[in-house]
Structure 1
């Protein structure tokens, strides 16, 4: 087992990893930018090293500085968390080159799943259902027109190196194609330095359902059931839950088996998530694989009584997994709380938290790095807390989650808490009747 782990991340996920390491008797090293000097992950780690100025590219994305921090503190492993360098094959390779264990999959696995066109081809070969679309990247506008005609409109163009909705365009007719082609390429090039696009059939009334998978170094893979991530805005998730209100035992079995097939196809090691798009008839198609721990991993932890961070560390240290699949034992939900103003187009709201009360009570968990007097920096993702709730039924879960949100007090900045409460009050949401388009026509005017 590792003696000391450096956490190449910040905020709540860094603190989450520190807690598990402490329970396992493993020393921790926090890295931080000058903007995060007062963050809780710096305070609670055994050691802390400043790795640069506030901008992510100069600190949390600075591979030489992070490797140097690991070497001077004699860390024998690095946990990347999520975001930043967690799915960066060059970083995983740098760890190997400096004899430091990267807690995650190999660079080859990251590379294979990181390029969406390659990932789709890999899954198709493994027998995992994929959305009908282009074979690889679109070579030209004419190629795009021909592919769209074969698939049938509407279609979706996506950036191969994309994420967070960048470089994505829905095209409903050939008249819209040229404009969408140009704008998607420009946006993809600006965001990722890669203007490669591929095309898929656009699924109407879709749900976004993902399967948590785990693999060890000995070829064994299991799944830990599903998370429904359909409540999202511009492809950014707001609420996740398990079991999905759309799921049946038969569909769970099929999706779980498909996810295991996909992970086995690349001999996957560690925690990963196979994301599916599911149509109104229960047909599911592979979207992408995240080769890291997810923001919403506590949903699975609370439903299965399974510490995913601990399992990541054990697998990276060479321990085998049991190989048995897990199903939800309880109903669980996660609400992402962002420092944003929903009434003003989700304008970021960094600043000093003047007053804070974190909810408690039965079945309530909060993962956060904030405290009263903490200043939210403007340089990073706006998520400041995750509220995770568990209950015996979905009805009880919604009531308890709303109660906890009403009890959550964050003063000094605007947050998405009023929006989350409004979603929970919505009749269609309560009935489980929602798709990824749920928020498209949602009235935000009364959230001011």
Structure 2
């Protein structure tokens, strides 16, 4: 199938041709026809599969071919879980709109509220934003959604993880037009909360699923290394980066402080690195991502704030310096490489603090993960030691080993060593208190 086989507006086909896009991906083949028919849709596929175009193309086609239900209210609202993902979607939307008369506005938390109010007064046809800030504008009466025709939720599972369920319900109530079409895109569909949300927000939705979120990405080579501690991880990171030439690298850490520390360390080693974390302002985060996307920085050290939605085609290596707490977040992290048919590598360091996350990822991926080794940096850590079982008396049980005594090979249990930390094994003779003096005897002594 080609894009030209789909009943899309000719300006969209021209825009796709300019971008060199001729054949839709699997999720686009399945989702776009049903979206064009105006049906509610639930779609899931692995990261990097082209979900953004799967909802942008039908949305723009609708705005170009059908009359608006309202002159003032927006026609299409696209919600994203993070500012970075919303901005990425907005840029793709603007690229597809080209010189069309359709207007679009970006509404994000952390940016000037009054400037957004002014932009909304120009009555944009498309709004791309985060659920929290869109809900703020609804409460502040600077945005109305009574005439909304299409509600799109990108990465809906992530929005629920971040606690945006109340805001999503508020937006749904504000956009209660009976002709509204709703499309929900998510990496996973097995969440109970997500299932409840789909029953509340969607009407008889058509379901589309391509693979699963835990399915192995064939364009990404994944390797796991055991690590003893942070210093060991830093040594392995330097060796992994030095082994071959990578176009760009993203390194994920567990905390915001680690992003700055690790970025500083890499710069001291002569590498071009920059740190990104959630405690930065929106303008600072935007500047950092712009520098990295333009190739001004070779390495981006970040928390999970950059794990979703960012379409950076030059990233050829992803490093999990620390494993994520949520198993599905691992999939989104490694999905920052190996995009649009390119090959990529994903390296993960597993230390004692990462072990539980590693077990969860292994179960989620349903794959047999084997550990690799770096020459000269083999870890002593080989997984947590099994806990010793305690007997009913509280003492540690013996290992069950026996030894032979004499020629008759009579098996006798190994003698248990005395635990010097417990007083009962060393002797527990009760203290003998001095008898109390008789009160009568004390009074006689005083009279004498």
Task: Return the TM-score normalized by structure 2.
Answer: 0.25
Greater share of residues in strand: 1
